[in-house]
A and B are shown apart, each in its own frame.
Chain A
Amino acid sequence: MKFLKQTVSLSSSINSPESLKSLRSSLKKKVYAQSGEKLGKIKDLLIEKGVLKGALVSTRDINMFVDKEYFENDSEKALMLNMDPITMLVGKKVFDSDGKYVGKVKNLIRSNNSNNFTSIMVRKRMFMKPIEIHKTLIETSKKNIILNRTIEKNESRQEKDNNI
């Protein structure tokens, strides 16, 4: 961290404040998920009792608080996370094991605030009621989601019956 004017240190423990990291320099830094996808930029850094707790990341759709436990590497260029946020699943297409298009992920069911979920809510078309798919049915969830079994017609039909 560089200071333009002369800086006088008033501290019994820190002799050269230039060696400390500036929080301001972290703002607007790019944030990458573990997969290398660019999530957004750091909007703010949040502290509690003087200790950094995490970062508020501004993505295209939402603001996301990322606990520092998910920080892999915080360099001058970017903040790298050690996981792929579950929010990345929203909007992804879902296919069953028979290659049938089930729908898109509309939202996630979570039991707590950690980077984990219990189910995804998937909707095929607008105005159709979403169906809930448990996490254990997911085979792959990288670019899109592939399930490990077929989704029967009656499970999809439930959407139509509920709409009548």
Chain B
Amino acid sequence: MSQDKKKTITSDDILGKEAVDPEGQILGIVIKLHISKEEKTLTGITIDQGFMKPDLFIGTDHIKNFGIDTIFLSSVPYDKLKGMKVISSDGEIIGNVEGHAQKSQKLQELRIKFKKDGLFKKPISIKVSEIKQIGDSVIMKPNFKIPEQVKE
């Protein structure tokens, strides 16, 4: 059985490599390969995101290419937003991201735990249209008002 070495890679070429999303963020190290028993094809990879973070499963649909030193992903896994700080347009830290909702790989909402009197309240869903920028933190638009439920 011959293998075309240029077109074939092995588990050694994937495991232990860093997984990088389209923003250049290193999500973690690939620790597992998932293979379909019936079709004998790769279905995804598991990434170890580090201490105190859950492992992340990425389906092959979201893998752009298996690079020399890294695995490039084709889409941003929005799970990485969990725990991110939420800042008002004035620069005040108003909460943390608890979760998200997406549709067809497009981010729709963020579930945010707002802070009041130093305590985090129950998460509230906020539409993406109210967000100015998502980078190292989530920055809200200037006209964003903290929901009434949080002020109670």
Give residues of chain B (37-94) contacting chain A, Cβ–Cβ below 8 Å.
65-72, 85, 87-92
Contact of B135 with A by CB under 8 A: yes
- Asked if A98 contacts B135 (CB within 8 A), the reply is no
Contact of B107 with A by CB under 8 A: no
CA distance A118 to B71 in the complex (A): 28
Chain-B contact segment, one of A1-9, A50-58, A71-79: A71-79
8 contacts between A and B (CB under 8 A): A36-B134, A38-B137, A77-B91, A95-B70, A98-B65, A99-B68, A100-B68, A144-B24
Contact of B147 with A by CB under 8 A: no
Q: What residues of chain A lie closer than 8 Å to B88, measured between beta carbons? A: 77
> A residues engaging B (CB < 8 A)?
30, 32-38, 73, 75-80, 84, 92-93, 95, 98-101, 140-146
Q: Chain B contact residues: over half helix, strand or loop, or mixed?
A: loop
The closest CB in chain A to the CB of B88 belongs to A77
Contact of B110 with A by CB under 8 A: no
Q: What residues of chain A lie closer than 8 Å to B92, measured between beta carbons? A: 75, 77-78
Contact of B29 with A by CB under 8 A: no
Sample of 11 further A-B pairs with CB below 8 A, known A36-B87, A99-B72, A143-B24: A30-B91, A36-B85, A36-B133, A36-B134, A77-B90, A78-B87, A78-B92, A95-B72, A99-B20, A101-B68, A142-B24
- Asked if B24 contacts A35 (CB within 8 A), the reply is no
The closest CB in chain B to the CB of A73 belongs to B89
- Asked if A36 contacts B137 (CB within 8 A), the reply is yes
- Asked if A142 contacts B23 (CB within 8 A), the reply is yes
- Asked if B90 contacts A144 (CB within 8 A), the reply is no
Q: What residues of chain A lie closer than 8 Å to B65, measured between beta carbons? A: 98-99
Q: What residues of chain A lie closer than 8 Å to B133, measured between beta carbons? A: 34-36
CA distance A141 to B22 in the complex (A): 10
